[in-house]
Copies of this chain bind each other. A is one copy, B any other.
């Protein structure tokens, strides 16, 4: 069964770089990777927060949160 990996970002340069370099680098044989851009899906900020995401970009793998470098805080994202 594939593990779930969700990459949350907000379109920032640091985010896009991490998406290209890391989110798309996961083994497709083991991970079902989803990319969530809060600019297009603001309704999913709550779910990320509940998972423990405090800044973007972040990758949540099987419920484990990995903050990758630092693009923006989730508070900044919420303020738009």
Minimum C-beta distance from A22 to chain B (A): 6
Q: Across the interface, which residues of B come within 8 angstroms of A28, CB to CB?
A: 27
User: Which of A39-47, A62-70, A72-80 is near enough to bind chain B?
Assistant: A62-70
A10 interface hit (Cβ, 8 Å): no
Count residues of chain A with CB under 8 A from any CB of chain B: 21
A26 interface hit (Cβ, 8 Å): yes
Minimum C-beta distance from A7 to chain B (A): 12
A11 to B31 alpha-carbon distance, docked (Å): 25
Contact check, A61 vs B22: say whether CB atoms are below 8 A apart.
yes
A50 interface hit (Cβ, 8 Å): no
Minimum C-beta distance from A63 to chain B (A): 10
